[in-house]
Amino acid sequence: MTGKHEIMQEWNEAADAWADFVRTGKDYNRTGVNNPATFKLIGEIRGKRVLDLACGEGFNTRILARKGGEVTGVDFSEKLITYAKQEEAQEKLGIHYEAMDATNLNGLAGNQFDLVTCFMALQDIEDYEKAVAEVARVLKNCGHFIFSIPHPCFEKIPIGEKRAPAAENYFKTLEYHIDWNMKRLTKQFTTTSIHRTLTAYFHSLYLNKLLVRRLVEPRPDTESVKQHPYFKESLIRPQSIIIESLKMK
Ligand SMILES: C[S@@+](CC[C@H](N)C(=O)[O-])C[C@H]1O[C@@H](n2cnc3c(N)ncnc32)[C@H](O)[C@@H]1O
């Protein structure tokens, strides 16, 4: 298994190319599919205290702040947090960023957030159970946890030269490496993710008294499909899944 520090190192090395990818609108799944659906689910957050867990360089963190949230963003990649802070210096949105491991949020007091978001990152967090326990700790009662992950039934994992559906061996927890080698990237990089069953994610919510409220399997809108034939597959099967849960007493 790739350890946490190696995964952190991968994201530090990826940081400049990742920031360019996200900020220049080349992360098509984000702009065309995931964000419209996730922000619809998030709804009104004006005046709400929000934690964006594993926030990366902060693209979605800034959207949360522009929507009126009082936002904290944490990620274990110092480099990505530096990029996020640079952006905050350019456009002051009042976001507090800190380099922090999602599985140890000791720097954050409990029972303080109305909403915790985690956009497309829980699959990269080695000890997702600890991270979910930390989410439950920092949420207020009735606070919401909204996260998106690649859809475990349809995510594709590299096997040799090919990419095969992880669901060919669905029940197997499987670490895999993604070679980000698309032409639209300024540089190639590799990151590590873990395929887990939906049951595994739901069980960690259950153990932490996070009651599942809604789930969304997002589809691209017709405009996105017209712009990028790339999205056609997402019309047939969801590439991601978004889950909203609620902290119970
Ligand atoms: C695919 S990126 C998504 C970033 C961001 N949520 C976004 O939407 O742009 C996954 C992120 O998870 C972060 N990450 C992985 N494991 C982590 C951990 N244990 N603690 C904090 N961040 C972690 C990585 O540094 C990376 O920024």
CATH number of the domain bearing residue 95: 3.40.50.150
Q: Is the pLDDT of residue 67 over 90?
A: yes
Report pLDDT digits (tens) over 113-162: 999 999 999 999 999 999 999 999 999 999 999 999 999 999 988 877 78
**82: Cα separation from own chain's centroid:** 18
Please list, residue by residue across 207-227, b when 16 or more beta carbons sit within 10 angstroms of its beta carbon and e when fewer do: ebebeeeeebebbbeeebbee
In a domain, 164, yes or no: no
Cβ of 80 below 6 Å from ligand 1? yes
In a domain, 176, yes or no: no
In a domain, 81, yes or no: yes
In a domain, 162, yes or no: no
The total number of structural domains that make up the chain: 1
φ, ψ of residue 240 in degrees (nearest 5): -140, 170
φ, ψ of residue 47 in degrees (nearest 5): 80, 0
In a domain, 184, yes or no: no
In a domain, 73, yes or no: yes
Closest residue by CA, ligand 1 atom 26: 56
Closest residue by CA, ligand 1 atom 10: 121
80 CA closest ligand 1 atom index? 27
Question: Is residue 241 within 8 Å of residue 146, measured between CB atoms?
Answer: no
Q: 119: domain range?
A: 4-150+197-247
Report pLDDT digits (tens) over 182-216: 999 999 999 999 999 999 999 999 999 999 999 99
In a domain, 70, yes or no: yes
**Ligand 1 mean position to 54 CA, how many Å?**
4
How are strands ordered across the β-sheet holding 210-216? Answer: 96-99, 70-75, 49-53, 113-118, 139-150, 240-247, 210-216
In a domain, 116, yes or no: yes
Q: Distance between CA 38 and CA 144 in Å, rounded?
A: 13
pTM over 0.75: yes
